[in-house]
Structure 1
Amino acid sequence: MHELVNGIVPIEAGEQERLIQVRDLRETTQRLYEAVGVPRADARLMADLQVETDVRGVHSHGTRAVPGYLKRIQTGHTNPKPEIRVVREGPASATVDGDGCLGHLASYRAMQLAIAKADKLGIAATTVINSRHYGAAACYATMALDRDMIGFCVSSSSRGVAPYGGIDRLLGNHALAYAIPAGREYPIVLDMATGRSAWGRVGTMRLYGRKLDGEWVLDEDGQVTDDPHRAHALVAPGGAKGSGLNVVMDVLSGILPFCLATVNREDEYQGQRRASHFFQAIKIETFCDVSDFKLEVDRMIQAIRASRPKEGVDRIYAPGEIEWLKKAAWEKTGIPMHKTHVESLEKAAEELGVEVAF
């Protein structure tokens, strides 16, 4: 057992892990992107967003994705020097064309636009088209927090989730996030996929040699399996309700921006090719006093935390609280990362002639 902070956050590397300092990981990630032609400012933003994801403990959507993104740039799948532009705009809306960019870049700009418009009008929404995988949804939703706004975003997806009662990989596994300001407590951040988990999380369990707990995935025959190697289709959480939520998120992230649903995405649109996203910002003071809002959010969090845990549960956490605790600890101690994850970055660096900082 290695040392824990707050009884839940490991601050030492386990047997399968290495401890990597945040600054070193950020510097190495930026160098890798620059090596494949990504401009310095964009490379820095990519590093900031992906390392922020790792420091929150969401490794499936952090720098573990970097080698794959680099390959996509090298093969022409992703444009390293896009001309990102607004192609449709209204007072409280905009559509951003990513020009085949790394999805993080257009998403960051689109959320900035939504926040700026909401600051003037109270609520605003933007979409992105011609994008790629946008990483962790929380990166963009949390941008609204410092402006005393509620942030929301959701992305299109390749097929990967079986509809309720079905077997086939037909629906998307849409990454979505809400970020809600609080007062003394950590902000509420709901960062999730519309399947039982992100596919990257299934990959993490495979990486660590762990079984899946509960009804995560179906095998080729439509049977529930706890073996991540046999995963064929994800299950939507909550049965019919979760499946219904999946469909609605597809409307917001696929049909509204791009007029294309996941079920109709053929090979040309798979693998996050021509991805699309939706972003929204809500200015709290448009509806109520910000101080009163934050106070009540705090009271809600505290009531949840003080409620009785069931047997085998030490305490109850609010959405996103564990990730905030990891961030607070790991920014000081470094991030425990699986050795295979680190080695994949080192291999990419060797292939590109880049010096790693860790």
Structure 2
Amino acid sequence: MNRPPEEFKRIAAKDLKTFGTACLKAAGMPNEQAEQLAGLLTNSDLRGVRSHGTRALYGYCRTIRDKKANPNPNIEVLAETDTYVYVDGDGGLGYAPTMLATEMAIVKAKEKGIAVGAACHIGHYGSAGHYVRRAMKEDCTAFSVQAAYPQYYTSNQDKRAAHYGNPPLCFGLPGEEGPPVVLDVATCILADYQRGEEIEAIEEMIPAAFFKSMGYTAIATLLGGAFVGQGSERAQEIAEQWPAARMGSLVIVMNLGLFAPVAEVRHGVDELVRLGMEQMVPLRGYDEVTLPGTPEHRNEEAYSRDGVPIAFEDVERLGKCGREFEIAPPWLD
């Protein structure tokens, strides 16, 4: 899914954000939240993370219009100390509440060294990397996860254990001169399209990989679900009223200079990336070794300069969204 498309149209990032903001506003989302969400979706496109970019815009617009999530939530802080903050998303999408929790946790972590932010009663929050990258901009490292209660999907009945998943999570540390190390993933090691007998045969070959995958899923689900209050009666009531808002989120932010000088830590990231590329043998079928974060870093530089390559099928999807919400795509001018 997140490989560069073979056939595409290049669209400027500013046009994607402008169009996305207008569509979300037309669907009923408040201005500030619409602009924030459109910007985050565009950022995903800039990094080449197509699965969580503007191709998701149409689905979000329909979710808001059809009131599967609260279009105008009353986002409020439920509890706060000098080291944690707990935000109620009131049935809206998860982006704004989780970013609020992240921003507040950053301030606290800068002062106290470490802080935790969480949001409850929310919908999808997109790529977990949005919140980690926000912390990285402030000389912090962070972890983020989103999940539901009691499991990520409403049912896993008769599903293969190898497919158990699939909460998004992210860890990240910034570099000094080179790319950051950012592990922005979902917990299942198999992609949604990797199904069938050939894939199932791998289960016997490397069962340990699937046991690890199942363990990641279990821990991530608990941290982003039960741990942040999604097992409460209030959470169930919200999910019944707003069916697309049965999730919670967690962000842990640490001051990058907590144990060593910030410059030293950033240099350590640079060295790790460099040595990985110089010393290791690439995976079969690949020309080089890149640690997570490097491909996205390269894409962001290139796409900011040349425009984002949007697959033709996604261009059509954006056009369909524009027609339905009566917003003309600026790239058609």
Shorter-chain TM-score bucket reads: 0.7 to 0.9
Question: Equivalent residues in 2 for 1:1-358 (5 A)?
Answer: 14-15=6-7, 17-157=8-148, 158-159=152-153, 167=160, 171-197=164-190, 199=192, 202=193, 216-217=194-195, 223=197, 225=199, 238-260=209-231, 272-310=244-282, 312-358=285-331
Which residue identity is paired with 1:314?
D
TM-score by length of 2: 0.86
Question: 1:319 Cα deviation (Å)?
Answer: 1.0
Aligned structure 1 segments of 4 or more residues deviating by more than 6 angstroms? 160-163
Structure 1 gap ranges (5+): 1-8, 203-215, 227-234
Question: 1:258 Cα deviation (Å)?
Answer: 1.9
CA distance in 1, matches of 2:68, 2:175: 40
CA distance in 2, matches of 1:161, 1:316: 38
Q: Deviations over 1:240-279 (max 9, x none)?
A: 1221121111111011002439xxx9x9599753210000
Question: 1:237 Cα deviation (Å)?
Answer: 8.4
* Structure 1 residues 259 and 274, CA gap change in structure 2 (3 angstroms): closer
Which residue identity is paired with 2:20?
T
Q: Secondary structure at the match of 2:184?
A: strand
Q: Secondary structure at the match of 2:99?
A: helix
Query: Is the contact made by 1:98 and 1:129 (CA closer than 8 Å) also made in structure 2?
Result: yes
Q: Secondary structure at the match of 2:263?
A: helix
Task: Count the aligned residue pairs.
Answer: 316
CA distance in 2, matches of 1:39, 1:270: 17
Structure 2 gap ranges (5+): 201-205
CA distance in 1, matches of 2:70, 2:175: 38
Q: RMSD between aligned alpha carbons?
A: 2.9
Query: Is the contact made by 1:130 and 1:274 (CA closer than 8 Å) also made in structure 2?
Result: yes
CA distance in 2, matches of 1:177, 1:188: 10
Q: Deviations over 1:75-134 (max 9, x none)?
A: 111122111111122221111101111211111111111111111110001111111001
CA distance in 2, matches of 1:170, 1:133: 20
Richer in helix (by share): 2
Question: 1:161 Cα deviation (Å)?
Answer: 9.9
Query: Is the contact made by 2:93 and 2:122 (CA closer than 8 Å) also made in structure 1?
Result: yes
Q: Secondary structure at the match of 1:94?
A: strand
